[in-house]
Amino acid sequence: MKIDNVTLAFSNKIVLKNVNIDIKLWEFVFFIWLSWSWKTSIIRSIIWDFSPANWDIILEDGTYLYKNLDDKSLAKYRRSIWVIFQDYKLMESKSVYENVAFAMEVCGYKDTYIQKKVPETLERVKLLLKKDKFVSELSGWEKQRVSIARALVHNPNIILWDEPTWNLDPITSMEIMDIFLDLNRDWKTVIIATHDKNIVDKLKKRVIVFKDKEVVSDKEKWVYEL
């Protein structure tokens, strides 16, 4: 995926300008920034939820995301990429199983496949024994794992997560990162937007820094340097 000279604007007010980022298959990348750097906007543009004011995002096959995709191709693209937002967007009055199954139902998967895939995925994130629990009964760490499961059932090639450790203690934060390191080893591209200096410094992956509406740093095996 190549973010090609993208400019983002709200009501003609530029919030990001001339952003150029080339993310290779199976990379593990951190996005970090100062407050009010509009991190969510660039995430939304990657998933076709917020159209750039200028230029485009180029996919691995050379397709331009905003210029070329038809409805069928867009649906396929959206299954290949999954975003876990900071507020999780879970249904508190539904069970763990129902939350994960719903993520598949809205994408049109067949019931027989859902019934097979959901338990497999819950086992992977160590929540199978809690599949019948309401989300409202879960801890914050368990809700995080439900969010991960909802992403994994689609077997996406790219996973983006907005502030995965914002309300977690350091030990639990690293448990989250261990899951994503495993996913990265399983040939998933991982992009994490975070203010968590501890995890960035510990993992020493590629770090892209946003400041004053622009990318000001892009370094491999780096640390949190704001």
Domain of 155: which CATH number? 3.40.50.300
pTM value is 0.86
The domain tally of the chain equals: 1
Domain of 123, in residue numbers: 2-219
Residue 164 located in a structural domain? yes
Number of H helices, E strands in the chain: 8, 9
Residue 191 located in a structural domain? yes
* Residue-by-residue pLDDT tens, the chain, 226 positions: 888 777 777 667 777 788 888 999 899 999 998 766 567 777 777 776 666 666 566 677 777 676 766 777 777 777 788 888 777 789 999 999 999 999 899 888 999 999 999 999 999 899 999 999 999 999 888 998 999 999 899 888 999 988 888 778 888 889 889 989 999 999 999 999 998 999 999 999 999 998 888 889 999 999 998 7
Q: The sheet that has 54-58: what strands, in order across it?
A: 13-22, 2-10, 54-58
Amino acid letter, 108: G
Residue 36 located in a structural domain? yes
Query: Residue 69 has what pLDDT?
Result: 67
Query: Residue 9 has what pLDDT?
Result: 72
Residue 47 located in a structural domain? yes
Backbone angles phi, psi at 31, to 5 degrees: -100, 125
Residue 224 located in a structural domain? no
Residue 103 located in a structural domain? yes
Residue 121 located in a structural domain? yes
Strand pairing report for 13-22 and 2-10: antiparallel
Residue 44 located in a structural domain? yes
- Three-class secondary structure of residue 68 per DSSP: helix
